[in-house]
Amino acid sequence: MSVTDAAASPSFAEAARFWLKLGLVSFGGPAGQIAILHREVVEQRRWLEEREFTGALNFCMLLPGPEALQLAIYLGWKLHGIRGGLVAGLGFIGPAILLLLGLSWLYVRYGNLPAVSGLLLGLKAAVLALVLQALVRIGRRALNTRTHVALAIAAFVALELLHVPFPLIVLAAGLIGFASAWNAPRTSPSPAGPAPVGAPLGVAAAGLALWLVPLVLVALTLGPQSLWSRLYLFFTQAALVTFGGAYAVLGYVAQVLVNELGWVTAQQSVDGLALAETTPGPLVIVLQFMGFMAGWNQPAPLGPVASATLAALLASWATFLPSFVFIFLGAPYVERLSRMPRASAALGAITAAVVGIIATLLLLLARVVILPDGLGGPVGWAALALAAGLWFALERSRLELHWALLIAALAGLALQSLGL
């Protein structure tokens, strides 16, 4: 177990209360959640030093999956070992899982009501603005060389036009980045001592067992080729290549579930992202909604509610379990892994490719929000104006995300009532 100085460490109960509170108020996406963690853990409570926090963040950025969740798991581990990491991670995602389950049921039950449709119209316009903002911001940071620009364009063409599998795009980008830093030293000088070697096998074995149990149970009861078995394997694959955050992985998941498998409609995928934006916790929780809708749309031999709930929980388990395993495996080696130039170069190339992948999601959103009836249908000028106005407000002011979402929802309701 690795813990901080006992004089600065909170009790386990005190930390557990903090992690649950964090899970209830962690709106604002990964940037906002990381900022909250830094302010609370480093600046105000002084549970960790700045150097420890920065090293942990750099390590989490190298991993697939939601970096804010992984950072919370690591900080919990740093304070109280594996039990601390478990409580931190579950406290961070638990409220979001329960809340989105409820919202998903409300969506399928009442989503066609005019008032709900209006609220969703506004939220979808807000999501379009947020994805555009993310694309611009990540692009400014990531596309700093001609190679990175070329990777972004190639990733967009490969996914949108050539339908190259997303994992291959990530792998190719990572290899290109790694090769570009081939002459760099393997690691930067680090004062870190030898890392423990006894625990990794136990962590890996436990993680594999926890992953296998749901798969075996579903395969034995519903069949290895059932929707739920296939869905569980697909979301596991998605979790292992979710570099670049929720917007990137949703672009990939929507491409497969909407265009290839037909389990979810494009409209439902956009509605899910709008709902996920209103919940605390990691935005990648949207994958739970995608699982819910896949189960709802193809329920047999179960009832719709049972099928959707099972699919949603399987999607969440497959999505979030790897984050816990990655952190518990790598936490003792953070000082070394966060100082690897070749790994950083690979991450930079992957992030550049992610810009192109997010662009495919932006295109999907634009089609659904601005052209709801397809290319030959009328343009949704009101939704376009609302999205543009929100993007401008988010870029030019310090408008908090929750206020932006509230304004968007009310504006969508007003547009619906006016028949626009």
pLDDT digits (tens, 9 = 90+) for 55-65: 777 677 777 88
Instruction: Please list, in sequence order, all residues whose beta carbon lies within 8 angstroms of the beta carbon of residue 114, skipping any fewer than 6 positions away.
Output: 416, 417
8 Å CB contact between 45 and 37: no
Mean pLDDT of the residues in the chain: 83
- What percent of the chain has pLDDT above 70? 88
State the pLDDT at residue 32.
62
State the pLDDT at residue 206.
94
State the pLDDT at residue 101.
95
Tens-place pLDDT, residues 246-266: 677 777 888 889 988 999 998
| Helical residues (DSSP H) of 26-66, grouped into ranges | 29-37, 50-61
State the pLDDT at residue 49.
82
User: Would you say the C-alpha torsion 79, 80, 83, 87 has a positive or negative sign?
Assistant: negative
Rounded Cα distance between 189 and 64, Å, is: 25
8 Å CB contact between 374 and 267: no
Tens-place pLDDT, residues 127-179: 788 878 878 877 887 788 898 899 999 988 988 888 787 778 878 888 888 88
State the pLDDT at residue 2.
44
- Give kind and range of the element (H or E) at residue 213: helix 200-222
- C-alpha distance from residue 5 to each of 9, 245, 268 (Å): 6, 33, 48
182-197 average pLDDT score: 51
State the pLDDT at residue 103.
92
State the pLDDT at residue 295.
96
- What residue has token string 């809340």? 99
At residue 226, the 3 state secondary structure works out as coil
Tens-place pLDDT, residues 105-125: 999 998 777 887 888 788 888
Confidence of residue 318 (pLDDT cuts 50, 70, 90): very high
What residues does each domain of the chain span? 12-92, 116-188+196-417
Two structure tokens written together for 303: 């009832």
Between residues 30 and 17, which one has the greater pLDDT?
17
Tens-place pLDDT, residues 199-211: 788 899 999 999 9
Two structure tokens written together for 190: 């680090």
8 Å CB contact between 202 and 208: no
State the pLDDT at residue 125.
85
- What percent of the chain has pLDDT above 90? 28
274-281 average pLDDT score: 82
Tens-place pLDDT, residues 400-412: 777 888 888 888 8
State the pLDDT at residue 192.
44
Between residues 324 and 67, which one has the greater pLDDT?
324
309-322 average pLDDT score: 96
Confidence of residue 336 (pLDDT cuts 50, 70, 90): low
Q: Identify which of 147, 158, 65, 151 has the alpha carbon closest to the alpha carbon of residue 355.
A: 151
State the pLDDT at residue 228.
96
- b/e string for 358-382 if b means 16 or more Cβ within 10 A? bbbbbebbbebbbbbeeeeeeebeb
81: region left, alpha or beta (phi > 0 left; psi from -120 to 50 alpha) = left
Between residues 376 and 5, which one has the greater pLDDT?
376
Confidence of residue 195 (pLDDT cuts 50, 70, 90): very low
Peptide bond into 191 cis (omega under 30): no
State the pLDDT at residue 420.
63
Confidence of residue 357 (pLDDT cuts 50, 70, 90): confident
> pTM here?
0.76
The DSSP-derived string for 261-305 is: S-SS-HHHHHHHHHHHHTSSS-GGGHHHHHHHHHHHHS-TTS-HH
Neighbours of 69 (CB within 10 A): 28
230-244 average pLDDT score: 86
- C-alpha distance from residue 55 to each of 61, 63, 127, 358 (Å): 10, 13, 31, 27
